[in-house]
Amino acid sequence: MSTVSITLGEVAASLALIAVAIAVSFWRRAELEQDIALAVLRSFVQLTAVGYVIQAIFDTDSLWLVVALLAGMVAFGAWTARGRAKAVPGATGPIVLALSVAAAVTLGLVLAVGVFEPEPRYLVPVGGMVIGNSMTAVAVALDRLADEMHDGRRQIEAMLALGATSRQAARATVTRSLRSGMIPLIDSTKTTGIVFFPGTMVGMLVAGAEPIDAVRLQVVLLWVLLGAVALAGLIAVSLGYRGFFTAAHQLRD
C-alpha cells in the first residue's frame, strides 16, 4: 500500500482555493472574509496540534491517554453544544452525559463485535467522529427543544392544568426535538455514495486501500454513528426538557 505524503509547500498551495472563497465574499459583500481567515487559521493550528497529540498517543500506545483525549473531546464538544443550546436551562449535565454515553457505548460495541482492535489508532479517530456527530445532533435537538418549549408554552401549560406531569406535558415536544437532531444524519446516510463520499472512505481510497475495504469500514462507521447520534439525542432531550419545569410540574418563567 502506497502512502501519501504532503509537503508544507503543497499545503500552502491549496490556499489558492481560500483566495477564491475570500474573493467571492469580497465581491458579493458577504462580509465573511474575517471568518474565512479565522476558519483557515484555526483548522491549520488545531489539526496540526491534534496531529502531534495523536502521534504522541500512538507512540506511547497508552489506552489511558486515549481515554483522556476522548474526555477532552467530550468537554470541548459539550462546551460547543452548550453555546448553541443557551436557551435550555441547566443543559450542561445532560450534554456531557449524552456525549460520554454515546462514545462509551458505541466504542464498546465496535470493540465487542471485533471490528477494531483496542488500539489508539482505531479508538481515537472513531471516538472523535462519534463525539463530533453526537455534538451536532445534541445541539440541533436542544436548540429545537428550546424553540418548541417557547412556541408551545400555551399547549404545554394547558396539559399541566389537566394534571399532566412535566414528562407527559413535554412528551410530544421531546419527540419532535429528538427527530430534528437525528434527521440530518439519517438523510446524509441515505444519500451517501450518491451525493457525497464520506470522509473515511475518501481518506482510505486516497491512501491506497482497496475500494471494498474502504466501503466496509465506512458502512460500519455510518451505522455506528447512527446509533451514537440516536443515543446522544435521546439522553440530551430526555434530561434536557426537565430544565424547563419546576419540581411542582410548573413551567419556569
Partner 1 sequence: MTLSIRSGSTALLGPSGSGKSTLLRLLNRLGDPDEGVVRFHGTNVRELDPLELRKRVGLVPQLPAPVAGSVADNVCLGPRLHGEEIDPEGPVRQAGLDASFLERDASRLSVGEQQRVMLARALALEPEVLLLDEPTASLDSAATAAVEDALGNLQGVSLVLVTHDRAQAERLAERTVELREGRVATA
Mask 222-251, x = binds partner 1 (CB under 8 A)? --------------------------xxxx
Nearer to partner 1, 69 or 169 (CB): 169
113 binds partner 1 (CB under 8 A): no
| C-alpha cell at position 159 | 396539559
Sign of CA dihedral 212, 217, 220, 222: negative
149 binds partner 1 (CB under 8 A): no
CB of 176 to partner 1, least distance (A): 12
Q: How many residues touch partner 1 (CB under 8 A)? A: 16
Nearer to partner 1, 66 or 159 (CB): 159
CB of 160 to partner 1, least distance (A): 6
CB atoms under 10 Å from CB of 241, counted, come to: 25
158 binds partner 1 (CB under 8 A): yes
CB of 240 to partner 1, least distance (A): 22
Using the rule CB under 8 A, give the single segment among 24-32, 124-132, 158-166, 220-228 that binds partner 1: 158-166
Name 196's bridge partners: 192
Helix (H) or strand (E) holding 71: helix 63-84
Out of 56, 155, 186, 211, name the contact with partner 1 by CB under 8 A. Answer: 155
Q: Which 8-state DSSP code applies to residue 116?
A: S
Nearer to partner 1, 160 or 178 (CB): 160
Residue indicated by cell numbers 464538544: 77
CB atoms under 10 Å from CB of 63, counted, come to: 13
| C-alpha cell at position 250 | 410548573
Out of 161, 194, 195, 212, name the contact with partner 1 by CB under 8 A. Answer: 161
Out of 27, 154, 191, 194, name the contact with partner 1 by CB under 8 A. Answer: 154
Instruction: Report CA dihedral (224, 229, 232, 234) to the nearest 10 degrees.
Output: -120
First vs last C-alpha separation in the chain: 62
| Nearest CA-CA partner of 177 in 111, 78, 243 | 243
**Contacting positions for partner 1 (CB under 8 A):** 154-155, 157-165, 168, 248-251
